[in-house]
Amino acid sequence: MRVLVVGSGGREHALAWRLRRSDSVTELFAAPGNSGTAGLGTNLPIADTDVDGIVAAAAGHAIDLVVVGPETPLALGLADHLAAADIPAFGPSRAAARLESSKSFARSVLDAADVPGPNYRVFQTVSGALSYVDYHDRPVVVKADGLAAGKGVAMCASREDAKIAIRACMEDRIFGTSGETVVIEDWLHGIEVSVFGFTDGENLSELVAATDYKRVGEGDVGPNTGGMGSFGPPDLWNAELAHEIRQRFMLPVIRELAERGCPYRGALYCGLMLTRDGPRVLEFNCRFGDPETQVIMPRLLSDPVEAMLACVNGNLDDAGPVEWSERPAVAVVMVSGGYPGQYQTGYAINGLADDAGDSDSIVFHAGAQLAKDGSGDVVTAGGRVLAVVGLGDRVTEARQRAYHRVQTISFTDAYYRRDIAAMPAVEPVSA
Ligand code: GLY
């Protein structure tokens, strides 16, 4: 099979890496890809938001399966356009992807499906939102309704913070039309977990979970980032919790979307807070997480092509079970110094080839590209540059492998957190 992966980040390199190891994949393409995907197949110079360009390229290269990594092309209807051209696409339709592209739509689905979550209100006017926080006596989270490149969520410890966030969205329009509507939720405390499954619109595969680290600084301080690391399975993840998340959170949402006439097919991402009062939903996303994918793809034992095609064709129950390895994986993200603020790119990355034959250590490229001089050198090209993954029989071993490999890689101004997967286990606290 000829497979095209859409996107250019670490998640897409991890997807491409796992797909390339499938016996059924004969040729792999990425659009636009990065230096990591270039090592696995052919990068096509097409932006992931260029829907017409991707459909034309998929037809031109006789692609048998398109795997869409990021949310934006899905929200633009890439899966619908590919389906209209009779090209199998792994990823939900535009209508189903509203689960991520509209927070207010998602909340209405979650309410209808009776999924436990925080108290929330939706506002279309600044005055309504401001007066709500004036009379609300708990810290809140202000969310831009639409997509905002992962930056649309403001954690507001005080009323003043909440008002600043509301005005930035609704008056200053820092997220454009995505912030015309805001959702204001009570701030939940506890342990955050990302849970993923394959679904064909009715059936849901075995679940896999991971924890990501969003803050730039060790000890979870400083600004939010696209993710500084991840590990899985999380400390508290077990069969009982997986059963609860499947039955009370994910299957009800799948059923509700099917009833609304927009069945969800693809990777379903349930973001949860494990509170003392039980799990509560934070968000649903319409794709695999980044950098969670970098720790779940190495743990996927089943054939990804079989699972993805079964989602597309609506026969996941006929396919074999999707199996995940018990072995933990840890990903340490190496970023450009200054990220998530200003940073320089174009620095040579050294040590990438040096895996010392260790199959339990993998480097996924993200903001990294082949140098334009044709030398084959890899240079930094973004904020999050690499995700360095270690696998082991225990988290401590996986972590040791990841950090050992990190120490063999260098580029100017490289920064990484030293506490990934080392955070003390925290008891969930009250919601
Ligand atoms: N790791 C968070 C996300 O992918 O949205």
pLDDT per residue over 116-160, tens digit each?
A: 999 999 999 999 999 999 998 889 989 998 888 878 888 888 999
Within a domain: 98 = no
336: phi then psi, degrees, rounded to nearest 5? -75, 135
pLDDT tier, 423 (very low <50, low <70, confident <90, very high otherwise): low
* Cα of 398 from ligand 1 centre, angstroms: 21
Residue 244 in domain = yes
Q: Report the separation in Å between the CA atom of 60 and the middle of ligand 1, taken as the mean of its atom positions.
A: 32
Is residue 112 one of the residues assigned to a domain?
no
Euclidean distance between CA atoms 177 and 139, whole angstroms: 25
Is 9 touching ligand 1 by the criterion CB < 6 Å? Answer: no
- Per the structure, the complete domain to which residue 260 belongs is given by 191-318
Same domain, 248 and 286: yes
pLDDT of 355? 74
Length of the chain: 431
212 pocket-lining for ligand 1 (C-beta < 6 Å): yes
Same domain, 231 and 279: yes
User: Across all residues in the chain, what is the average pLDDT?
Assistant: 94
If asked whether residues 289 and 200 sit together in one domain, one would say yes
Give the domain CATH number at 131: 3.30.1490.20
Task: Report how far residue 174's alpha carbon sits from residue 426's, in angstroms, rounded to the nearest whole number.
Answer: 35
- Point out the ligand 1 atom lying closest to the alpha carbon of residue 150: 5
pLDDT higher than threshold 90 for residue 427: no
Structurally, how many domains does the chain consist of?
4
Model pLDDT for residues 185-218, shown as the tens digit of each residue = 999 999 999 999 999 999 999 999 999 999 999 9
Strands 140-144 and 208-217: unpaired
Has residue 421 been placed in a domain? no
Instruction: Indicate if 222 and 303 belong to the same structural domain.
Output: yes
Q: Above pLDDT 70, what percent of the chain?
A: 98
Residue 228 inside a domain? The answer is yes
Instruction: Please give the distance, rounded to the nearest whole angstrom, from the Cα atom of residue 195 to the centre of ligand 1.
Output: 11
- Which tens digits make up the pLDDT trace of 271-298? 999 999 999 999 999 999 999 999 999 9
Is 17 part of any domain? yes
CA 291 to ligand 1: nearest atom? 1
CATH number at residue 77: 3.40.50.20
- Find the 214 Cα to ligand 1 centroid distance in Å: 9
Instruction: CATH number of the domain at 232, please.
Output: 3.30.470.20
Domain assignment present for residue 14? The answer is: yes
pLDDT, position 46: 98
CATH number at residue 339: 3.90.600.10
The three state secondary structure string of the chain is CEEEEEECCHHHHHHHHHHHCCCCCCEEEEEECCHHHHCCCEECCCCCCCHHHHHHHHHHCCCCEEEECCHHHHHCCHHHHHHHCCCCEECCCHHHHHHHHCHHHHHHHHHHCCCCCCCEEEECCHHHHHHHHHHCCCCEEEEECCCCCCCCEEEECCHHHHHHHHHHHHCCCCCHHHHCCEEEEECCCCEEEEEEEEECCCCECCCEEEEEEEEEECCCEEEEEEEEEEEECCCCCCHHHHHHHHHHHHHHHHHHHHHCCCCCCEEEEEEEEEECCEEEEEEEECCCCCCCHHHHHHHECCCHHHHHHHHHHCCCCCCCCCCECCCCEEEEEEEECCCCCCCCCCCECECCCCCCCCCCEEEEECCEEECCCCCCCEEECCCEEEEEEEECCCHHHHHHHHHHHHCCCECCCEECCCCCCCCCCCCCCCC
Structural domain contains residue 65: yes
CB atoms within 10 A of CB 83: 16
Would you say residue 424 has pLDDT above 70?
A: no
Q: Are residues 285 and 396 in the same domain?
A: no
Same domain for 299 and 195: yes
Query: Cα of 71 to ligand 1 centre, how many Å?
Result: 10
| CA–CA dist 319, 417 (Å, integer) | 40
In this prediction, residue 431 carries a pLDDT of: 44
Nearest CA to ligand 1 atom 3: 289
Residue 124: what are its φ and ψ, rounded to 5°?
-110, -5
Residue 324 has pLDDT above 50, yes or no: yes
Out of 194, 288, 364, 384, give the residue to mutate to test ligand 1, the one with the largest number of ligand atoms within 8 Å of its CB: 194
Cis amide linkage into residue 223, ω under 30° from 0: no
Distance, CA of 332 to CA of 89 (rounded, Å) = 30
* Cβ of residue 152 lying under 6 Å from some atom of ligand 1: no
Report the 10 Å Cβ neighbour count for 67: 27
- Do 200 and 292 have their domain in common? yes
Q: Say whether both 21 and 87 belong to one domain.
A: yes
Q: Which residues contact 364 (CB under 8 A, 6 or more apart)?
A: 10, 13, 14, 17, 36, 294, 331, 386, 387, 388, 389
Measured torsion, CA atoms of residues 289, 295, 297, 299, in degrees rounded to the nearest 10: -140
Of 102-106, 209-213, 237-241, 356-360, minimum mean pLDDT range: 356-360
Confidence of residue 357 (pLDDT cuts 50, 70, 90): confident
Ligand 1: distance of its center to the CA of 18 in Å?
19
Do 56 and 71 share a structural domain? yes
Is any atom of ligand 1 closer than 6 Å to the C-beta of 232?
no
Q: How far is the CA of 212 from the centre of ligand 1 (A)?
A: 8
Question: 348 and 290 in one domain?
Answer: no
* pLDDT tens by residue, 33-90: 999 999 999 999 999 999 999 999 999 999 999 999 999 999 999 999 999 999 999 9
Report residue 423 as tokens.
């955070």
309 and 258: one domain?
A: yes
Same domain, 333 and 224: no
- The rounded distance, in Å, linking the Cα atoms of 254 and 112 is 12
